[in-house]
Chains A and B, each alone.
Chain A
């Protein structure tokens, strides 16, 4: 069975500051890794994913995440955040052979202040 641990439940940060949202996973088999974002009163949207190849993956709005197999981590980073990045961020894992179901972490609430 897989599990996902997001190490910070809340991350307050000032606008234009860098941010890192931490994610560790546990699995006995190979996995795919995802970050989803949830804005207030909305469903989740895919932010970025790691399937294979380069361990550094990027989103269109400046976020990036690096897959580290030895540390079983998939931390999300952004060098300079905007007010509009305020949302809840979820790390998720899916077994490569598993029917596509995602197991989510508890979520990290990113609050960007002016």
Chain B
């Protein structure tokens, strides 16, 4: 597709379960970002991938969160042992060299019950 694609669009999971969120960036974009947005709040940076460089994980809130990017394209954000406070919209964005125009996906709404 032409834009950043995220799946699933909605995910409801039970507390304590693991979840995987997927992001398909725009083809050729070397930079990929993950953010999360809690209800009524701003965007919180989670992790950043740029080409083959080591990712910047400085925004990950705990060791239950991890992300990988395979082959410089698709990225998966994994949350282990989910907690209710993990409930949020998780947004992915991609761009050419960092800090040019970034294109965001529509997000995955995660609800932990």
Do A and B pair up? The answer is no
Residues of B within 8 A of A (CB): none
Residues of A within 8 A of B (CB): none
